[in-house]
Amino acid sequence: MILRRVTVFGGTGFLGRRIVTRLAQAGTEVTVAARHEHDVSVPGASGRVVFRQTDVRDDASLAAALEGADAAVNAVSLYAERKGLSFADIHVEAATRLARLTAENHVRLVHISGIGVDEASDSAYVRARARGERAVREACPGAVVLRPSVLFGPDDAFASSLAMLARLPLVPLFGHGTTRLQPVHVNDVAEAVARVLARGIIGEAIELGGGGVHDYRALVRAAQQRHRRPLLPVPFPLWRALTAPLAVLPGPPLTRDQVILMESDNVVGRDAATFARLGIEPRDIAKHGFGDRD
């Protein structure tokens, strides 16, 4: 299926930029919808990418960004609440608003959620993601929900933070480091979005985990490579307590919600549709996460 124009909401973010690049380099015209203006030029796709300043909390702004689009991708995310902006604002209300508008205008929708969303979670972030996913599917039954695991890739936050921690004289672990993770390369997720759109898939939920499942301790060891330092288990209650004073910062290095996410395994479900549904062989962070990560 050939799509003439796709609007990518949150197209200036870590994942959004890769989605924009993948679509534009394949010949699709892309509207990048984001709150703050950025350079959205894509090598080899001159003239195919335009920026549209957009407030996802406003119906008129969303409608203007959707004008002329065949499909939309919601890659907007908020990882730490701040004054005047809550998880519910972005992951529930804005996501629902966009889903309703795409349904009303017969625009296909790909909604980016996350593995492990749960409305009963102790994390406000995870609860909002789960509520938003449910609301999106109710407002737009044809929406495809993609649930990636933690992202890694060039200039990422996850593998880069692991590499930074690995250089400390004593490396703190979340608990005993036994939480199992399945990090996924950002470009593999962008490819998944492109294939969902190209194949005309509708109404499905697909979980996107990387090519390997690793416990946190093993990932720290992989990041250390040749220079191994002692590992220090730190109980989760202490981690939660440590995040309290950081919450007042405008960009806290660690949040309570991130700690809660590390308390449970983050891997694809046993019966979930995965990358295999799209014919993609995902990369493994152990092979591609701590060196050349293109």
Work out how many domains the chain is built from and give that number. Answer: 1
In-domain check, residue 75: yes
| Contacts within 8 Å (CB) and 24+ apart, 57-66 | 57/89, 57/93, 57/94, 57/97, 59/97, 59/101, 62/9, 62/33, 62/97, 62/98, 62/101, 63/101, 63/105, 65/7, 65/9, 65/31, 65/33, 66/7, 66/101, 66/102, 66/105, 66/107
Average pLDDT over residues 131-144: 98
Q: Please, which pLDDT band fits residue 84 given cuts at 50, 70 and 90?
A: confident
For position 293, what pLDDT does the model report?
45
Domain span holding position 271: 5-152+183-211+267-283
For position 58, what pLDDT does the model report?
95
What element of type H or E holds 128?
helix 124-139
Contact 8, 19 (CB under 8 A): yes
In-domain check, residue 17: yes
Secondary structure (DSSP) of 69-111: -SEEEE----SS-BTTB-HIIIIIIIHHHHHHHHHHTT-EEEE
CATH number at residue 54: 3.40.50.720
Query: 9 - beta bridge partners?
Result: 33, 74
Which of 79, 65, 81 minimizes the C-alpha distance to 33?
A: 65
- Among 80-84, 86-90, 181-185, name the one with the lowest average pLDDT: 80-84
Phi and psi angles of residue 229, each rounded to the nearest 5 degrees, phi first: -120, 160
Question: What is d(CA 210, CA 150) in angstroms, rounded to the nearest whole number?
Answer: 9
Question: What is d(CA 259, CA 66) in angstroms, rounded to the nearest whole number?
Answer: 36
Give the three-class secondary structure for 198: helix
In-domain check, residue 110: yes
In-domain check, residue 27: yes
In-domain check, residue 207: yes
pTM of the entire structure? 0.94
In-domain check, residue 187: yes
pLDDT tens sequence across 207-254: 999 999 999 999 999 888 767 889 999 999 999 999 999 887 877 888
In-domain check, residue 61: yes
For position 1, what pLDDT does the model report?
67
In-domain check, residue 130: yes
